[in-house]
Amino acid sequence: MKKYCIGIDVGGTTVKIGLFEINGKLMEKWEIPTRREENGKYILNDIKQSVLEKITHSDIDISDVEGVGIGVPGSVTKDGTVLGCVNLGWGIFNLESEVKELFPNMTVKVGNDANVAALGELWQGSAKGYLDAVMVTLGTGVGGGIIIGGKIVTGATGGAGEIGHMPVNPNETEHCNCGKQGCLEQYVSATGIVRTAKILLRESDEKSALREYDIEKITAKDVFDCAKARDIIATMVVSEFGYYLGTAFAHVASVVNPEVFVIGGGVSKAGEIIIDAVEHYYRKLAFPACKNAEIILAGIGNDAGIYGAAALVAEND
Amino acid sequence: MKKYCIGIDVGGTTVKIGLFEINGKLMEKWEIPTRREENGKYILNDIKQSVLEKITHSDIDISDVEGVGIGVPGSVTKDGTVLGCVNLGWGIFNLESEVKELFPNMTVKVGNDANVAALGELWQGSAKGYLDAVMVTLGTGVGGGIIIGGKIVTGATGGAGEIGHMPVNPNETEHCNCGKQGCLEQYVSATGIVRTAKILLRESDEKSALREYDIEKITAKDVFDCAKARDIIATMVVSEFGYYLGTAFAHVASVVNPEVFVIGGGVSKAGEIIIDAVEHYYRKLAFPACKNAEIILAGIGNDAGIYGAAALVAEND
């Protein structure tokens, strides 16, 4: 292994880039805008230019860079094919081959962003030292990543770790973005938490601090803040959140029995209240042999993507 | 690799043993009784005697035997420790080490019987040629095995693949053998299918051929036979079976996105009616990227255990 590697997290608005020592130390990170125009055709070249420029202006020799890892917001199959990234304007193509052409003589690895973030938490985040981990990223949507024996599980068609689309409520009448009804994402994403709050506020006459907010502008953070202040409606919302995520974790445990569940994404900033809500149901619902899995908060926040992308290269064997 | 290997499937009543060519050809199989007395202390030695005797009376030289694989009815951790096998009278001990002492100079591998059966189907059964497969064994209980990249997923505490204990019905009031309520096993095991039939017969006035059976003696096979003859109540039972197993498969797909689901065990002898019932719900409930997984019947029946145990040795690398 050479001395350095690059980790890249491609999002719909910005591309985050990190220059790492191969042992996991982040030396420098920066961002460039994601140019989505013309089906995102400039994105990869923009990345190449930015990386080469950064290296040129550093005291690092490019021959000391082992390779480039990239996480993208879409399914990625084992051979490096992306099956479309709506947020980037990308269709189906072999991303790994294209990036290899831009960075000749380097190791190039690509993956789904949520899978890659899970690897990042395992490499240098709060799951460091574990081998079998499951991460769920709670943001506008819900992403997931499954790590077994230190390696990302990709699945037959890049769909492994799509925990957000587990069917957890057969009685749901509203549709998820994926077209199905009753997906986990409808209850535990930031959007889902707000949706539950609105439903409970509508269905109940109970006093609540949430009624003092502009109902159209309530955020998941508001809900957790009110629950921490012992608001009844907010507490019920958090409890429903915990029930669905705890149920999903019990399902996951029956399949891969991880050592640890890591909860990340914007919603996880609410802190320990999240863990308490999920543990309450998980410990009840999980198969006895799997009950004692750790449930922890993510440790490297928005940087999990670049760490994990770098780990694709640094941990490649 | 040497020329031969041994696959052993330890059950509560009999121990099945197979002598295999290392390429997967079953040369000979036989059974010995499982001596459960005195906490099953004679079982391993009985196995040793039987294997050595068979080899002595064959024209195989023991130095041509690569090793011994064993599947047991209980959780087995990565280091070969069994966490208790109620049906054998066994407590917690390192099975792999003990078997190694009985077969010195041989490769010894151990695993949970349902996990091992999954590997058997992948090695020489109906999932041959696949790398990512999930098998569910529907008998008195429900066993499961997860294979990724051709290898069994064991999990942190040997609990991976315990699909039978996924919580699929939050409204269940009866308890599963594991102590929880609403486990998959309560609906899709042979016992569970009969239970559903009894409930529906009790709750409905609908005419049914099942009412002509002694209600205490109805079997899962009776239910499937009646459903094939277009009996309404039996059809509803099969539909409920399909709903729960299809839901569980959708959960599993969100985690590991396998190429194929294999359904085995006594219940699977009902044939294609099983596949139709499960597919109907799976295709609706699974995440779009995972929808097209194959769902097939097991191919090597009761021999999956010995095949898989042999594969632990033959596919060891």
Kindly list the residues from chain B whose CB atom is less than 8 angstroms away from the CB atom of residue A178.
Answer: 287-288
> Locate tokens 């001395």: which residue?
A3
Predicted TM-score of the model (pTM): 0.94
SS3 string, B56-71, reads HCCCCCHHHEEEEEEE
Choose, out of B76, B187, B244, B256, the residue to mutate when testing the contact with A (most A CBs < 10 Å). B256
Interchain proximity B157–A250, CB inside 8 Å = no
Question: B65 is written with which tokens?
Answer: 């035997």
Give CA–CA dist A115/A144, Å, rounded.
Answer: 6
- Shortest CB distance from B285 goes to which of A180, A258, A284? A180
Q: Which chain B residue lies closest to A246 (C-alpha atoms)?
A: B167
Interchain proximity A156–B257, CB inside 8 Å = yes
| Predicted ipTM of the assembly | 0.92
Give CA–CA dist B73/B294, Å, rounded.
Answer: 27
Question: Which pLDDT value is given to residue A86?
Answer: 87
Choose, out of B254, B261, B283, B294, the residue to mutate when testing the contact with A (most A CBs < 10 Å). B254
**Which pLDDT tens digits describe chain B residue by residue (317 residues)?**
999 999 999 999 999 999 999 999 999 999 999 999 999 999 999 999 999 999 999 999 999 999 999 999 999 999 999 999 988 999 999 999 999 999 999 999 999 999 999 999 999 999 999 999 999 999 989 999 999 999 999 999 999 999 999 999 999 999 998 889 999 999 999 999 999 999 999 999 999 999 999 999 999 999 999 999 999 999 999 999 999 999 999 999 999 999 999 999 999 999 999 999 999 999 999 998 899 999 999 999 999 999 999 999 999 87
Is the dihedral angle over the CA atoms A193, A199, A204, A210 positive or is it negative?
positive
| CA–CA min distance A30, chain B (Å) | 32
- Shortest CB distance from A258 goes to which of B156, B167, B287? B156
- Shortest CB distance from A163 goes to which of B254, B288, B292? B254
Choose, out of A255, A282, A291, the residue to mutate when testing the contact with B (most B CBs < 10 Å). A255
Question: A268 is written with which tokens?
Answer: 């996880």
Give CA–CA dist A153/A137, Å, rounded.
Answer: 16
In A169-197, which positions are buried (b, 16+ CB within 10 angstroms) versus exposed (e)? beeeeeebebebbbbbbbbbbbbbbbbbb
Phi first, then psi: give them for residue B176, nearest 5 degrees: -80, 165
- Shortest CB distance from A285 goes to which of B144, B180, B258? B180
Identify the contact set of chain A against chain B, taking CB-CB distances under 8 A.
75, 83, 132, 144, 146, 148, 153-163, 165-167, 170, 178-180, 247, 250-259, 284-285, 287-290, 292-293
Q: Which chain B residue lies closest to A251 (C-alpha atoms)?
A: B166
pLDDT at A317 over 80: no
Question: Which pLDDT value is given to residue A178?
Answer: 87
Question: Which pLDDT value is given to residue A177?
Answer: 87
- Between helix A113-124 and helix A304-314 the angle, nearest 10°, is 80
Interchain proximity A252–B247, CB inside 8 Å = no
- For residue B234, give Cα distances in angstroms to A206, A306, B168: 46, 54, 21
Question: Which pLDDT value is given to residue B99?
Answer: 97
For residue B56, the Cα-to-chain-centroid distance in whole angstroms is 31
Environment class of B298 (CB within 10 Å of its CB; exposed 0-12, middle 13-18, buried 19+): buried
Kindly list the residues from chain A whose CB atom is less than 8 angstroms away from the CB atom of residue B157.
Answer: 257, 289-290, 292
Question: Which pLDDT value is given to residue A55?
Answer: 94
Kindly list the residues from chain B whose CB atom is less than 8 angstroms away from the CB atom of residue A157.
Answer: 257, 289-290, 292
Interchain proximity A250–B75, CB inside 8 Å = no
Q: Per-residue DSSP letters for A164-180?
A: GG-B--TT--SBPTTS-
pLDDT at A279 over 90: yes
pLDDT at A109 over 80: yes
Give CA–CA dist B112/B153, Å, rounded.
Answer: 11
Interchain proximity A160–B256, CB inside 8 Å = yes
pLDDT at A283 over 80: yes
Identify the contact set of chain B against chain A, taking CB-CB distances under 8 A.
75, 83, 132, 144, 146, 148, 153-167, 170, 178-180, 247, 250-259, 284-285, 287-290, 292-293
Q: Per-residue DSSP letters for A182-222?
A: SBTHHHHSHHHHHHHHHHHHHH-----GGGGS-GGG--HHH
| CA–CA min distance B86, chain A (Å) | 14
Question: A188 is written with which tokens?
Answer: 């535990």
Q: Per-residue DSSP letters for A232-288?
A: HHHHHHHHHHHHHHHHHHHHHHHHH--SEEEEESGGGGGTHHHHHHHHHHHHHHS-G
Environment class of A56 (CB within 10 Å of its CB; exposed 0-12, middle 13-18, buried 19+): exposed
Interchain proximity B158–A259, CB inside 8 Å = no
Phi first, then psi: give them for residue A110, nearest 5 degrees: -130, 160
Kindly list the residues from chain A whose CB atom is less than 8 angstroms away from the CB atom of residue B114.
Answer: none
Give CA–CA dist B88/A212, Å, rounded.
Answer: 63
- Structural element, H or E, at residue B100: helix B95-102
Q: Per-residue DSSP letters for A68-125?
A: EEEEESS-B-TTSEEEEEGGGTEEEEEHHHHHHHHSTTSEEEEEEHHHHHHHHHHHHS
| CA–CA min distance B54, chain A (Å) | 37
Radius of gyration from C-alpha coordinates of chain B = 20
Quick one: average pLDDT of A216-244?
Answer: 97
Question: Which pLDDT value is given to residue A316?
Answer: 83
CB atoms within 10 A of CB A211: 12
Q: Which chain B residue lies closest to A167 (C-alpha atoms)?
A: B285
| CA–CA min distance A10, chain B (Å) | 21
Question: B64 is written with which tokens?
Answer: 């041509």
